[in-house]
Amino acid sequence: MKSGNSISVSRETEERLKCFVELLLKWNPRINLVSPKDIHQVWERHVQDSLQIVPLLAGAQSFTDLGSGGGFPGIVAAIATGIPATLVESDQRKAVFLREAARLTEAPVTVLAERIEKVDIAPADVVTARALAALPKLLEWTAPLLKKEGRAVFLKGQNAINEIKDAETFWQMTIRCHPGMTGHDGLILEVSNLKRV
C-alpha cells in the first residue's frame, strides 16, 4: 500500500490494518474513538500518521504507548512492526476496544486500563504518544516508564516548537525533530537522554 505520502506496508500488514479499521468504524459511533469529522479520513489522518513512527522503533524490544485511545499509534505500530507493546488507556470502554482490536489483528499488545500516573510496569525501550498532552506533561509521564538508554517518540502538531521551549525549563534532553510525512503540518519528536533539570 503506497500512494502519494503513504507509507508502504506488506500485504499481510495491510490486511490486518484493514481489519483494525473496520472494527474501529463499527465501534466509533458508540465510544467516539476518532472525531466524526475525521471518520472518512481514517487511513490518511490516523493510520498513515501512526505508521510514520515505525522507522523510529527500529531496534526496540518493547514500547509503551500512552493514552492509546483508538489505537493510534500503538495498535498500528505493533501490527506493522511485531514489537510487543503495552497500551495505556484509562477509559475502560476504549480499553475494551483495544483488547478486541488486538485479538482480531493478532497485534502483540497488552492493554492496561489505568491512569498513566498509576501504571507500574517495567521501563520500555521506547515510549510513544499522539495528541495526548503538551510536551512538559508528556515527559513527566514518560520518564518513569522509559529505560535509561531509551527514547520517546511523540507525534505533535504545529505548536511543537513552543512545547519544546516550555519543556526545556524542566528537562534536559536530546531532541530530534522529524518532519511529518502525511502533510498535516506535524512533527515527530524523538527524545533521548531525558533528565530533570
Q: For the residues 32-57, what does the mean pLDDT come to? A: 91
Question: How far apart are alpha carbons 167 and 70 in whole angstroms?
Answer: 27
Mean pLDDT of the chain: 93
CATH number of domain containing 131: 3.40.50.150
Nine-digit cell at 35?
Answer: 472525531
Q: Is 80 exceeded by the pLDDT of residue 162?
A: yes
According to DSSP, the residues that pair with 88 across neighbouring strands are: 66, 112
Are residues 46 and 101 in contact, defined by beta-carbon separation less than 8 angstroms?
Answer: no
3-class DSSP assignment, residue 171: strand
Per residue in 103-131, pLDDT (tens digit) is 999 999 999 999 999 999 999 999 999 98
Q: Is 80 exceeded by the pLDDT of residue 6?
A: no
Domain that holds residue 67: 11-151
Q: For the residues 81-110, what does the mean pLDDT come to? A: 98
Residue 66 lies in a domain: yes
Structural domains in the chain (count) = 1
**Which residue carries 531525558 as its cell?**
194
Q: What is the structure's pLDDT at 2?
A: 40
Q: For the residues 165-194, what does the mean pLDDT come to? A: 91
User: Omega before 73 cis (within 30°)?
Assistant: yes
Q: What is the structure's pLDDT at 181?
A: 78
Residue 197 lies in a domain: no
Q: What is the structure's pLDDT at 41?
A: 86
Q: What is the structure's pLDDT at 1?
A: 43
Residue 124 lies in a domain: yes
Residue 132 lies in a domain: yes
